[in-house]
């Protein structure tokens, strides 16, 4: 069970899913840049990801930082900030989509 990052047809498997590690950290473990410029503090809003509809219940709820950075429509569509989004438990299978920049 792990976090799989999808970019177009490419799938990059982190090989792990840890509750205490945000999705930005999961990407960094496999040297995958998802756009964070502020070091994961939620200030830049550049590490935008989209959680698959079937997996949205498997991650932490949106934070106040995300609500300030993302519109209600974006949040409703599953967009999150990788630095603010955590798996709800260890050992989950999550699919995370990386928007085309």
How confident is the model at residue 101, as a pLDDT?
Answer: 61
From CA 78, how far away is CA 101, in angstroms rounded? 17
Residue 83 DSSP class: T
Q: Where are the beta strands (DSSP E) in 8-83?
A: 10-13, 48-51, 79-81
The position carrying tokens 């699919």 is: 95
* Helix ranges (DSSP H) in the chain: 23-29, 64-69, 72-76
**Taking the domains of the chain in order of start, what are their residue ranges?**
3-97
Ranges of the chain with pLDDT below 70: 101
CATH class of 3-97: alpha beta
User: What is the separation, in whole angstroms, between the first and last Cα of the chain?
Assistant: 28
């Amino acid at each position: 069970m792990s976090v799989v990052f999808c970019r177009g047809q490419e799938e990059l498997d982190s090989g792990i899913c840890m509750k205490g590690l945000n999705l930005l950290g999961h990407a960094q473990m496999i040297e995958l840049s998802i756009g964070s410029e502020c070091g994961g503090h939620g200030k830049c809003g550049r590490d935008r990801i989209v959680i698959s509809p079937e997996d949205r219940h498997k991650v932490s709820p949106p934070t106040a930082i995300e609500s300030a950075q993302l519109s209600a429509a974006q949040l409703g569509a599953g967009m999150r900030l990788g630095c603010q989004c955590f798996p709800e438990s260890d050992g989950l299978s999550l699919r995370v989509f990386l928007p085309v920049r």
